[in-house]
Structure 1
Amino acid sequence: MQQSVRSILMSLIISAANSAGAYGQAVDRAADKEKPTLTVGEVACSNADFYGQTAAEPLPYIALAASFNLPAGIYFSAATYRVFSEEMKQPFLAASALGVGYLLDVRNNLEAGISYTHNFFPSNTALLQAGVTGTATAEIKWQHWAETKATFDYLMGQSNDYFLTVGNAKVFDLHIPSEKAVLALAPEIAVAMGSQQFYQTYLINRENNGKGKGMPPPLEQQLAYNKFGIVSYNFKIPLDYNRARYLLELAYQLSLLGINALSGPGRANSMLSLSAFYQF
C-alpha cells in the first residue's frame, strides 16, 4: 500500500494534522503511478484528540474513510465519524469530511503536498474541533535514515487558527518469515505548535449546548487563545502488518500537553487505536 495514501487517510480520519501523520512500511509509490487507486480505511480509537488535546470527556470513535488517487498526484478523500459519549447524546454521525489534495515528488527522497478538507459537524457534536469547518494544509516529507515531516495547517470556521507540526518517524522491520508480508514497528515523535481559538469555540458550544452563542471571554483569555506556542509533544508506536494490498495497524499514542495547551498544561493523554486499510 502506498505510504502517501495511508497518510492521507489517517490525516483525514484523525484530523489533520493531527497531527503527526501516519508512517509505516509500504511499497514504492511509483508502482501505482500508472493507474488510479482507491483506498478504503477504518479506525477504531479509544479517544478523539486534536493536536494532542482531548475534550472534557472521553470520546471513543469509529471512523470510515476513502481516498481516490490519480496518477498525476491529485487525490479526493472522504470520511465519516461515529462518536460515543456517556455525558452528551451524540448524533449517529458526529462529523464528516471531504478533501482534495495534490502530491508532488520533488526528488527521490523529497515529497511535498497541499490539500483542503471541509468538515461537516452537527450542532450538538462533542468533538473538540467542532468549530473548524475547513483546513488548508501544506506539508513536506524528507526520507533519509528516518522520515522527517513538517505540516502547516490553517484552520477556518467559527474562528481561525494555524498550526505547525514537525515530526520524525523510523520504520523497524521485524523480519517475519514471509516474502509477501511485512511486520514492522514505526515509532514516531512530533511536536505540535499553534494558536487555540478553536478551544474558545468549543467551550462556548459546550456551555450553550451546541448553539454557538455566548458572552465573549475577558481580554486576557482572548490573548491566550490567540497566542502561538507549543501545544503538545506526541509519541506514537504503531505495529503494522502490511501486505501488497492491505495493512493492519495497532497503535498507542501518548500526548504530553505543553504549557500553552488550554485544556490542561502538563496533562498526559493516551489513545489506543486499531486500523485497517485496503487498496484496490
Structure 2
Amino acid sequence: MRYLSLFIFSFLFAVANAAATEPRFFLPPATTAAADSDSVPVRKRSVSVGINYGNDAIFFGRVGPVKYPYVATDVVYNDKSGFFIYGSALKVLGYDPLFDEVDLGAGYYFKSKNKKYSSNISYTRFIFNNDARIIKSASTNDINFKNSYDWKILKTSATADFLFGKSNDFFLTVSQSKYIEPDWSVFTDNDYITINPSVNVIFGTQNFVNRYSEDRFYAHNRDKIFNAAMLTRNNGRFTVLNYYLKVPVAYNTPHYTLEAAYRYSIPVNVENALQNRHASFFNLTFYYLFY
C-alpha cells in the first residue's frame, strides 16, 4: 500500500504541477535512440534521424542473463501542432538475426504557455524477431504518458507506462533532473555543451519476467532466469524495481547533437535467478535534425 500511495501522490503531483525546460526538439520515449538533452522550442515541422550504441540492453531496470550490446536507429517526424510519429530498429551485436526489434509509434506533445509544464502521450508497437534475446521482447505494446514540471532549480518528471500484449505490466518512473548549459561555445558561435544529470526511481510489476523465460530461454537456460520457487511469487505486485543515476553530456549544434551518457543502476526486488546486480551502462548517441 505504501508504494501504491506514493505512486498516486507522485502521479497526481506531476499532473497538477508538472513542466519542462525548452527542448531543442522533441524525441519520443526511451524506446528510440533519443538522447537525454533538453534545450530549444520544438513547435516547428521537423524530421530527426538518430543512431545509438549501448553496452547492454536494459528494460525498466532489468537486464538479461548475459550482456547484449546493441545499435539502434530511429526516425522521428514532428508536426507544428505537437503530433509526432516515429520508427526505430534495434540490432543486438554478435548474434544472428538481421534485426531484433522494430518499433512504430505516434503521439502528441504539449507545453503550457508559461513553458514550465510539459507532457506527452504516445503509443508504441514493438515487433520482435522470433530469435530476439532481449528482455523487452516479452512485451508487445506500450502506452506512455509523461508529465514534467520545471522548478528552475530542478525539473520533476513522472512517466507512466502501460505495457500489454504478451504480458501486462505497469511502470512509473519518477525523476529529478538538473539541466545545465554553460554560456560558452566550443568551436563556433552556434555550438554549445549541455549536461542533464538525473536521479530516478522505477516502480512497477514484473509479469514480463516469466513471459520472457518461457518464450526465449525456457528449454536451455531456464535456471539462469527463474526456478520453481519463483512461480509462487507475485510478479503482478507493484513495487520498487530500480534506482539509477544518469549523467548525459552532449555537444550540440543547430542541426545535430552528439551525446555520451553514463548510468549507474541499482536493481531491487529482483526476481530470483535474473541475478541483476549494481551495474554501469554507457550510451553514445548521434542525431541530426532537418527543418
TM-score (norm 1): 0.85
5+ unaligned residues in a row in structure 1: which ranges?
Answer: 15-20, 211-215
Matched, 1:69 2:78: yes
Residue-by-residue CA offset, 1:98-152 (whole Å, 9 max, x unaligned):
0010111234210122110000001111010112110011110111222211110
Residue-by-residue CA offset, 1:133-188 (whole Å, 9 max, x unaligned):
10011110111222211110000121100000000111222443453111122111
* 3-state SS in 2 of match to 1:224: coil
C-alpha distance in 1, partners of 2:25/2:164? 24
Matched, 1:3 2:9: no
For 2:23, the aligned partner's letter is: Q
Matched, 1:165 2:173: yes
5+ unaligned residues in a row in structure 2: which ranges?
Answer: 1-21, 221-225
C-alpha distance in 2, partners of 1:235/1:258? 14
C-alpha distance in 2, partners of 1:79/1:63? 7
- Displacement of 1:56 after TM fit? 0.6
Q: Which residue does 1:185 correspond to in 2?
A: 195
C-alpha distance in 2, partners of 1:95/1:269? 24
C-alpha distance in 1, partners of 2:287/2:260? 12
Q: Which residue does 2:144 correspond to in 1?
A: 137
Contact 1:45 1:62 in 2 (8 A): yes
For 2:30, the aligned partner's letter is: S
* 3-state SS in 1 of match to 2:209: helix
C-alpha distance in 1, partners of 2:120/2:283? 26
Contact 2:202 2:241 in 1 (8 A): yes
C-alpha distance in 2, partners of 1:4/1:194? 31
More strand by percentage: 1
Q: Which residue does 1:213 correspond to in 2?
A: none
C-alpha distance in 2, partners of 1:76/1:6? 11
Q: Which residue does 2:40 correspond to in 1?
A: 27
* 3-state SS in 2 of match to 1:129: helix
* 3-state SS in 2 of match to 1:225: coil
Contact 1:25 1:242 in 2 (8 A): no
C-alpha distance in 1, partners of 2:218/2:267? 26
- Displacement of 1:218 after TM fit? 6.0
TM-score (norm 2): 0.82
C-alpha distance in 2, partners of 1:38/1:222? 48
For 2:37, the aligned partner's letter is: G
C-alpha distance in 1, partners of 2:96/2:177? 35
C-alpha distance in 1, partners of 2:59/2:251? 26
Contact 2:35 2:285 in 1 (8 A): no
1:126 to 133, 148, 172: 133
* 3-state SS in 2 of match to 1:158: coil
Pairwise CA RMSD: 2.3
* Within-5 A mapping of 1:102-251: 102-107=108-113, 108-144=115-151, 145-177=153-185, 178-208=188-218, 221=231, 223-251=233-261
Matched, 1:82 2:91: yes
1:12 to 26, 31, 35: 31
